[in-house]
Amino acid sequence: MTSLIYLIRKSIKNNLKELLHKPGKLILYLLLVAMIGGLAFFSNNVQPLPENLAPMFIFRGILFAFITLFVALTIMKSLSSGDVIFGMNDVNFLFVSPISSRKILLYGMMRMTRNSFYASFFILFQSSSLANFGIDFGGIILILAGFMLAMIVMSILSLIIYNLTNSSPKRKRAVKIIAILVYVPLVIYLAVSFFQTNDPIEALYQAIHSPFSSFIPIAGWVTVGVISLLSGEVVTGLLFLGLTLLVGIGLLIFLLLSKTDYYEDALVSTESDFEKRRAIAEGNINSIQSQTTKKKVKIAGTGIGGTGVTALFHKHVREVFRQNRFGFLSFASVMISGGGILAIYLIKDVTAVLQILMWVQIMLIGTGRGLQETYIHYIYLIPESSFQKIIWSNMELIIRVLMETVITFVVGGLLIGAPIFIVLASIIVYTMFSLMLIGINYLFMRYTGADISVGLLITFYYLAVIIIIAPGLVAAIIAGTMIGGMVGTVVGLLILGAWELVAGLICFALSRGVLDYCDMPVMKKA
Amino acid sequence: MIIVNDLTKRYNKLLANDHISLTVNSGELTVLLGPNGAGKSTLIKSICGLLRFKGSVTINGFDNHTADAKRILGYVPEMPALYPMLTVAEHLEFIAKAYRLEHWQEYADQLLTRFDLKDKVNKLGKELSKGMQQKVSVCCAVLPRPKVLIFDEPLVGLDPHGIREIKALIASLKQEGCALIVSTHMIDSVEEDWDTTCIMKSGKIAALCHRSSLGSGKTLEDTYFSIVEQEDQEVPK
């Protein structure tokens, strides 16, 4: 055990030492701490009036859906390779050492707790959204703790599932069936409630508060535990969270007692994770795309159209139609449009959903094939102008964004009977915003080198987006407020859209020749 | 012909390439040797225009960033990077279309046969092993019949047949008048065909040896170790 404590102590010490040698990283951490502190202050002091609070059942539903998503992902992972509890260095050094495998597993759990904290970190930044439900910073910490607990228990379960189902298709099928069966009563209850009430929101409310959701392992337990504690029902809260914790401890004991030789299982997941990370660090885009693509791909049509620079677009068309069931629309597109339509229906406000989708787009814009193309050398070597290569390599993304935005706002707008001009203006703002984001990405590529850290790059990128859009946003708000009413909203949105177009074009102009004068980026770890 | 003039590349505090000048004539094979971290891959990427640097690089008289230079430049990276959703045949078709090549099918067919890829033409990039990917990567680089070809560790991960074919391909390209740069750790793989060897160390050219100036009975490997492991020893003239 002394060696494991030494390992942990030294790792912490060296990480701290590294901060002193990398002031950029230190500043970033300090900024993060300051931001969290600021958010904590505001969320504790600036709360909406009780009559303006959003219904708590919506948050309960979101939390339940979110944990369910993670549970589903973990189960899918555990049926293929198991969750990653150890690093490759642990496998190489600890697994072959004379340290007890039980102690090593406990050490793995400590690593897992740390990783769960990192994965749950984003919750700390949700204070402004959570304030709408009357949740202060203490509540956010509680949500973070509940989410971490769910993730840790799922990691242990993942290892056990892999352990038990490895090389047994029947058992794998059984796990899938059990995972689905657990949710079937909830779905039936939701359907029955809908037919009885004929009101989807009432049906959702009833389903979320029913025992069919509360007693769903992990997702239901943690949700009820957290929500109960937030509502002051301490006994119920502790009961459900305690149940989750007990199950976690029980699973850990099962793992320790039933099969201490878990090395082989852990090795598979660690090695595959290590290989992916290494390939990503070496810029092998294959490894990233392979994770997001179907395993079996039917090759119907073949061939690439176009000549010269247009071949890039035709190549992307061939790729997207082979990769996605809905052509230009990816799985993420379906999720965005579906989520967007549902949000418009629930919130009854197109512009509020537009704001949310714009935030999401900042993160998703990098998934476009044009930007991913810059990680492979071919686009740099094609003997055509840099500008034309950028235009044609991003055509697929522009078409995709247009399709997503038209589907989301037209369908959402029709459902709530939103004015046509608001819908059209929202489509323009979202599309132009995406164009501006592409421009900002190339601008960053043009003026930052391959040696900039990912953390700094992301921070600067977010700051740049905020700074660049700010003038247009201010002008839109002023114009919208001065004119007032629906006309004011439409004019404000059009001003914002026009500014995004101008800002985007300026970014493209400033990043002129980017593919001739930049460092080819590599997919680095944070 | 490749002319590298006073090329310097810096990553933050790390000086990866320090004032490098190098000329590779048409029909000449220059081998880049050096320990890990010597700056070979950085030099290659800079020559191919994939990195920003100080200094200049010309390809047959054209600045390496121009379309004229790119039209006659081929590059085989260390890590083969294929498109997961394109078949082997489509990779070649894409290159042919993007480079506006004419009558390329016959040559593509020859390359696929040469590298044992004929039965893999309908396989997707993501379905290929690393060695297969490397072979496709070589075919893509050679298809536009470039006048300058740069290989970064081309033999890593290849089977014996693949190694033999790449060695033969390099020899034939040299015969046809191509200017070639090959970076490798497998010194014996280029022993037969090399003209100039550029031994790099700590971002600098530690020695530039010409085959004609190599002492009798001395191999390239002897020269390499004499320079890399005994710094003070005089470079053979």
Start-end of H helices in chain B: 40-47, 67-71, 88-98, 105-114, 130-142, 160-175, 220-228
Average pLDDT, integer, range A387-392: 92
Q: Alpha-carbon distance A380 to A422, whole Å?
A: 41
Model pLDDT for residues A393-425, shown as the tens digit of each residue: 999 999 999 999 999 999 999 999 999 999 999
Q: Alpha-carbon distance A442 to A387, whole Å?
A: 11
Across A257-271, A343-357, A510-524, B128-142, the highest mean pLDDT is recorded for B128-142
Share of chain A above pLDDT 70, in %: 90
Q: What is the largest CA-CA distance in chain B?
A: 55
What does the pLDDT read at residue A279? Answer: 67
What does the pLDDT read at residue A137? Answer: 82
B146–A contact, CB cutoff 8 A: no
| pLDDT value at B235 more than 50 | no
Q: Which of A261, A401, A396, A281 is nearest to A340 (CA)?
A: A401
What DSSP string describes A200-216? HHHHHHHHHHSHHHHTS
Average pLDDT, integer, range A52-67: 84
Average pLDDT, integer, range A379-388: 93
Q: Residue B60 region, left (φ>0) first, then alpha (ψ -120 to 50), else beta? A: left
- Return the H-helix or E-strand segment holding B5: strand B2-11
Chain A CB contacts of B139 below 8 Å: none
Amino acid identity of A293?
T
**Taking CB atoms and an 8 Å limit, are A289 and B79 in contact across chains?**
no
Chain B CB contacts of A283 below 8 Å: 79, 81
Residue A178 burial (CB < 10 Å; 0-12/13-18/19+)? exposed
What does the pLDDT read at residue B215? Answer: 72
What does the pLDDT read at residue A261? Answer: 64
Among chain B residues, CA nearest to A321: B85
What DSSP string describes A118-143? HHHGGGGGGHHHHHTTT--HHHHHHH
| pLDDT value at A275 more than 90 | no
CATH number attached to the domain at B2-83+147-228: 3.40.50.300
Mean pLDDT over the full length of chain B: 90
Average pLDDT, integer, range A318-329: 87
Among chain B residues, CA nearest to A302: B90
Per-residue tokens: A141: 């910490």
Q: Where are the domains of chain A?
A: 1-42, 56-280, 313-510
**Taking CB atoms and an 8 Å limit, are A323 and B85 in contact across chains?**
yes
A138 pLDDT band (50/70/90 cuts)? confident
In this complex, the residue of B12, B52, B90 whose CB is nearest that of residue A318 is: B90
More confident residue, B46 or A15: B46
More confident residue, A298 or B206: B206
In this complex, the residue of A299, A381, A450 whose CB is nearest that of residue B73 is: A381
B168–A contact, CB cutoff 8 A: no
Chain B CB contacts of A317 below 8 Å: none
Using only C-alpha atoms, chain B has a radius of gyration, in whole angstroms, of: 18
**Taking CB atoms and an 8 Å limit, are A451 and B68 in contact across chains?**
no
Q: Residue B39 region, left (φ>0) first, then alpha (ψ -120 to 50), else beta? A: left
- What's the length of chain A? 526
Per-residue tokens: A122: 């984003």
In this complex, the residue of A299, A384, A451 whose CB is nearest that of residue B67 is: A384
**Taking CB atoms and an 8 Å limit, are B94 and A315 in contact across chains?**
yes
| pLDDT value at B231 more than 70 | no
| pLDDT value at A446 more than 80 | yes
What does the pLDDT read at residue A221? Answer: 94
Q: What is the largest CA-CA distance in chain A?
A: 76
What does the pLDDT read at residue B118? Answer: 93
Helix (H, G, I), strand (E, B) or coil at A297: coil
Per-residue tokens: A306: 């176009």
Q: Which of A136-150, A449-463, A467-481, B173-187 has the lowest mean pLDDT?
A: A449-463
- Predicted ipTM? 0.90
CB B176 within 8 A of CB B39: no
More confident residue, A132 or B206: B206
**Residues of chain A numbered 457-516 and touching chain B (CB < 8 Å):** 513, 516
What does the pLDDT read at residue A524? Answer: 52
Model pLDDT for residues B60-105, shown as the tens digit of each residue: 999 999 999 999 999 999 888 889 889 999 999 999 999 999 999 9
Chain A CB contacts of B101 below 8 Å: none
CB A435 within 8 A of CB A428: no
* Strand partners for B198: B32, B208
B68–A contact, CB cutoff 8 A: yes
| pLDDT value at A526 more than 50 | no
Average pLDDT, integer, range A469-479: 93
- Return the H-helix or E-strand segment holding B31: strand B29-33
Q: What phi, psi does A420 have (nearest 5°)? A: -60, -35
Model pLDDT for residues A503-520, shown as the tens digit of each residue: 999 999 998 888 988 888
Q: How far is B41 from chain A (nearest CA, A)?
A: 12
Amino acid identity of B213?
S
Q: How far is B183 from chain A (nearest CA, A)?
A: 17
Average pLDDT, integer, range A470-482: 93
Per-residue tokens: B100: 């506006």
Q: Where are the beta strands (DSSP E) in A255-325?
A: none
Q: How far is A520 from chain B (nearest CA, A)?
A: 5
Q: Which of B34, B80, B65 is nearest to B181 (CA)?
A: B34
* Beta-carbon pairs below 8 A across chains A and B: 115
Average pLDDT, integer, range A433-459: 80
More confident residue, A269 or A222: A222
pTM above 0.80, yes or no: no
A318–B contact, CB cutoff 8 A: yes
Chain B CB contacts of A290 below 8 Å: 84, 126
| pLDDT value at A9 more than 80 | yes
**Taking CB atoms and an 8 Å limit, are B49 and A381 in contact across chains?**
yes
Model pLDDT for residues B9-60, shown as the tens digit of each residue: 988 778 999 999 999 999 999 999 999 889 999 999 999 999 989 999 999 9
**Taking CB atoms and an 8 Å limit, are A516 and B49 in contact across chains?**
yes
B86–A contact, CB cutoff 8 A: yes
| pLDDT value at A259 more than 70 | no
Among chain B residues, CA nearest to A310: B98
Average pLDDT, integer, range B195-220: 86
| pLDDT value at B140 more than 60 | yes
Q: Alpha-carbon distance B117 to B114, whole Å?
A: 8
| pLDDT value at A362 more than 90 | no
What does the pLDDT read at residue A47? Answer: 66
Q: Alpha-carbon distance B101 to A187, whole Å?
A: 57
Share of chain B above pLDDT 70, in %: 97
Mutate which: B14, B97, B152, vs A, most A CBs within 10 A? B97
**Taking CB atoms and an 8 Å limit, are A311 and B79 in contact across chains?**
no
What does the pLDDT read at residue B232? Answer: 46
Q: Residue B145 region, left (φ>0) first, then alpha (ψ -120 to 50), else beta? A: left
- Pairing mode, strands B148-152 and B73-76: parallel
Model pLDDT for residues A160-207, shown as the tens digit of each residue: 887 788 767 888 889 889 988 999 999 999 999 988 888 888 888 888
A292 pLDDT band (50/70/90 cuts)? low
Residue B112 burial (CB < 10 Å; 0-12/13-18/19+)? buried
